[in-house]
C-alpha cells in the first residue's frame, strides 16, 4: 500500500472533492479554509483584513437536494419480477417478502436518498453492506463518501476499494486512520498512525477503541464485492475516460463564487446606505471621553464655539440610493446560469416569471424539461446500482442470517415519477384517444398501470373485453 496518502494519482480528484465538499457544506468557514491559499476567488479574501460582510448562498446544497428529489421524491418500487407472475414460485415470493422486510426495518429508502444527494455533489457514491448478527437481524446498507474511498476499476466496473477514515486527530500533523479494504470475497481491517499526507506505521487493531474487536480479515462468504459505486452521470468531462462520475458542481465553482460576491456586495451596500443624521456639534455630549448623542434630550444650549452660521446649526439627513434592482437582476442571472450549467431548469428551484403558474403535470414537465432530461440520465445509473447492491444484500442475508431467500432471484428497481399525473388528466387523454380510435385496450391498461406485469395486463385486458362483450370464444375443431 502506498505510503503517500492519498496516493499520488488521487491527489487531483481529492483536491476537487475537498472543493466540492466546501461548497456543499454551506459553511463559509470551510470555503475560507479551502480558498485561503488561492488568489482569484472571492472566498480567498481574508475576512478580517477585507473588513466586509461575506455572505454565502448554498447553491451547491440546493442543486444536490433537487437532484435527489427529482430521482427519489417517491420511494422506488423494489421487486423480484418472478414474484409478481400469475403463478409465482414460492422461492420468489419468500425472497420478495424478506427483501420488503429488510428495506422497511433498516430504513433503506433514507439511505437511497442520501446516496442520490451525495452522488450529485461528488460525482458518485459508494454503497456498502454491513452486518452483525449480534446487533441487527438484517444486513444494513450504508453510505461511504467518495473522499473517503480509493477505488480500483476495470472496464468501468469496481474491482476493489479502500475505505479510510480518521478515528483520532492526535495533533495538527498526526492522525490515526482505520483502513477497510474490500476485495471479492474478503474485507480487511487495518489501523495506521500517520500524518495528513502519509499513511504512516501500521498498528494493532486493539490499540484504538474505534477498531478494537474488529477482525483483521473477514470472509464474506460470497464471490463478489460487498459494495458498489454508483456514478452520478457519465461521461466525466473533467477526467475523460475515468470511471468516476461527474459532479453537478463541476464547472460552476466560479459562478457560485460570483453569486456569493454579488450578494455580499449587496449586503454591504445596504449597510452603507443606512440613513444618517448630520447634527450640530453643540448637540453632542462628552461621556467617557467620547461624544454621544442623546435621542431623549429635548433642550440643548447653544455655544459660541465654532462657526455660528445658520447652516452649522441645522440637521441634515443623508441616505444613499440602494441599487436593489440591479443587484437582484445580476444575482438572478448568475443563479440561472449556474443551474443551467449543472443540468437543471431554473423553475425547478422556484425561479419563475411573475404570475407564472404550473397547472398540470404536463406543463410542469415542459417548463422543467432540462431538469427531467438530467434526471432520466441519472436514473439509469441509480436504478442499476440499487438493484445490484440489493442483490448482494440478499446473498449476505442468505449466508450470514440463514434466511429463506433465494439469491438466484435478482431484484429490480424502478424509480417513480417525481411529478404525478392527475388521474383525471390521464383519463381525459385516454378518452380522447379512444374516441379517435387511436389506442388499443392493451395500451390503455399499460398506461394506467405501468407497474403491472405482463400476466396482470393480459388478465385485465381479458376482463375488460368480457365485460364489453368483445371476447370471442375459440371455435371447436370438428373432424
Which three-class secondary structure state does DSSP give residue 409?
Answer: coil
Q: What is the pLDDT of residue 470?
A: 72
Distances 228 to 45, 108, 232, 388, 394 between C-alpha atoms, Å? 40, 15, 13, 8, 14
Tell me, what DSSP letter sits at residue 278? E
Q: What is the pLDDT of residue 479?
A: 47
Quickly tell me which residue has 404525478 as its cell. 420
Contacts of 209 (CB under 8 A, 6+ apart): none
- CA dihedral angle for residue 391, residue 17, residue 198, residue 129, rounded to 10 degrees: -10
The three cell numbers of residue 117 are: 444527494
What is the pTM (predicted TM-score) of this model? 0.82
Q: How far is CA 391 from the centre of its chain?
A: 24
Q: What is the mean pLDDT of each run of 10 residues along the chain (479 residues)?
A: 84 96 95 86 69 83 97 94 92 96 96 98 98 94 97 96 96 94 98 94 96 96 98 95 96 96 86 68 69 61 54 60 85 96 93 62 70 94 97 97 94 82 60 73 77 78 80 56
Mind spelling out the 3-state secondary structure of 336-392? HHHHHHHCCCHHHHCCCCCCCCCCCHHHHHHHCHHHHHHHHHHHHHHHHHHHHHHHH
Report the C-alpha gap between 382 and 413 in whole angstroms.
9
The three cell numbers of residue 382 are: 441509480
Report the C-alpha gap between 14 and 466 in whole angstroms.
64
Q: What is the pLDDT of residue 353?
A: 62
DSSP-assigned beta bridge partners for residue 263 = none
Start-to-end C-alpha separation, the chain: 81
Element (DSSP H or E) covering residue 50: helix 47-50
Report the C-alpha gap between 91 and 80 in whole angstroms.
10
CB-based burial of residue 435 (10 Å sphere; 0-12 exposed, 13-18 middle, 19+ buried)?
A: exposed
Report the C-alpha gap between 357 and 354 in whole angstroms.
9
Contact 348, 339 (CB under 8 A): yes
Comparing CA positions, the residue from 406, 347, 342 lying closest to residue 377 is 342
Contacts of 12 (CB under 8 A, 6+ apart): 239
Cβ atoms < 10 Å from Cβ of 30 = 18
Comparing CA positions, the residue from 387, 388, 393, 382 lying closest to residue 141 is 393
Contact 389, 108 (CB under 8 A): no
Contacts of 178 (CB under 8 A, 6+ apart): 164, 165, 167, 189, 190, 191, 208, 210, 211
Comparing CA positions, the residue from 406, 456, 393, 451 lying closest to residue 92 is 406
Cα dihedral sign, 47-49-53-55: negative
Q: What is the pLDDT of residue 419?
A: 60
Tell me, what DSSP letter sits at residue 283? G
Cβ atoms < 10 Å from Cβ of 328 = 12
113: number of CA atoms within 13 Å, CB side? 11
Q: What is the pLDDT of residue 48?
A: 55
Ramachandran bin of 164, using left for φ above 0, alpha for ψ from -120 to 50, beta for the remaining angles: beta
Amino acid at each position: 500500500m502506498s505510503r503517500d496518502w492519498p496516493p499520488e494519482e488521487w491527489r487531483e480528484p481529492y483536491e476537487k472533492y475537498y472543493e466540492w465538499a466546501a461548497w456543499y457544506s454551506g459553511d463559509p468557514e470551510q470555503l475560507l479554509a479551502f480558498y485561503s491559499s488561492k488568489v482569484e476567488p472571492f472566498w480567498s479574501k481574508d475576512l478580517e483584513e477585507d473588513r466586509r460582510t461575506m455572505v454565502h448562498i448554498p447553491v451547491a446544497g440546493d442543486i444536490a437536494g433537487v437532484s435527489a428529489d427529482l430521482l427519489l421524491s417517491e420511494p422506488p418500487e423494489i421487486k423480484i419480477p418472478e414474484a409478481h407472475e400469475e403463478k409465482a414460485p414460492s422461492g420468489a415470493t419468500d425472497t420478495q417478502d424478506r427483501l420488503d422486510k429488510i428495506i422497511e426495518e433498516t430504513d433503506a429508502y433514507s439511505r437511497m436518498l442520501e446516496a442520490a444527494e451525495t452522488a450529485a455533489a461528488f460525482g458518485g457514491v459508494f454503497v456498502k453492506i454491513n452486518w452483525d448478527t449480534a446487533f441487527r437481524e438484517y444486513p444494513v446498507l450504508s453510505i461511504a463518501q467518495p473522499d473517503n474511498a480509493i477505488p480500483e476499476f476495470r472496464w468501468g466496473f469496481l474491482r476493489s476499494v479502500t475505505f479510510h477514515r480518521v478515528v483520532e486527530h492526535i495533533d495538527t500533523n498526526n492522525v490515526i486512520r482505520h483502513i477497510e479494504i474490500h476485495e471479492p470475497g474478503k474485507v480487511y481491517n487495518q489501523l495506521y498512525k500517520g500524518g495528513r499526507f502519509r499513511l504512516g506505521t501500521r498498528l494493532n487493531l486493539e490499540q484504538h477503541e474505534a477498531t478494537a474487536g474488529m477482525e483483521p480479515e473477514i470472509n464474506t462468504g460470497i464471490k463478489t464485492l460487498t459494495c458498489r459505486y454508483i456514478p452520478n452521470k457519465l461521461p466525466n468531462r473533467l477526467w475523460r475516460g475515468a470511471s468516476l462520475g461527474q459532479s453537478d458542481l463541476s464547472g460552476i465553482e466560479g459562478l457560485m463564487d460570483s453569486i456569493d460576491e454579488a450578494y455580499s456586495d449587496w449586503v454591504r451596500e445596504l449597510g452603507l446606505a443606512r440613513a444618517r443624521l448630520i447634527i450640530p456639534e453643540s448637540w453632542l455630549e462628552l461621556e467617557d471621553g467620547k461624544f454621544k448623542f442623546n435621542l431623549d434630550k429635548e433642550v440643548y444650549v447653544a455655544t459660541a464655539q465654532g462657526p455660528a452660521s445658520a447652516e452649522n446649526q441645522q440637521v441634515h439627513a443623508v441616505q444613499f440610493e440602494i441599487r436593489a434592482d440591479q443587484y437582484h437582476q445580476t444575482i438572478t442571472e448568475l443563479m440561472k446560469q449556474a443551474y443551467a450549467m449543472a443540468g437543471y431548469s431554473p423553475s425547478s428551484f422556484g425561479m419563475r416569471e411573475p404570475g407564472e403558474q404550473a397547472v398540470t403535470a404536463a406543463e410542469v414537465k415542459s417548463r422543467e424539461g432540462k431538469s427531467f432530461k438530467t434526471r432520466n440520465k441519472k436514473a439509469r445509473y441509480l436504478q442499476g446500482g440499487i438493484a445490484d447492491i440489493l442483490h448482494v444484500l440478499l446473498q449476505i442475508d442468505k449466508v450470514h442470517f440463514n434466511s429463506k431467500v433465494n439469491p438466484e432471484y435478482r431484484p429490480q428497481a424502478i424509480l417513480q415519477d417525481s411529478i404525478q399525473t392527475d388521474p383525471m388528466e390521464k383519463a381525459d387523454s385516454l378518452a380522447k384517444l379512444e374516441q379517435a380510435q387511436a389506442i388499443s385496450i392493451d395500451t390503455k391498461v399499460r398506461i394506467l398501470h405501468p407497474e403491472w406485469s405482463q400476466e396482470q395486463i393480459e388478465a385485465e385486458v381479458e376482463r375488460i373485453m368480457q365485460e364489453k362483450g368483445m371476447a370471442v370464444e375459440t371455435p371447436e375443431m370438428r373432424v
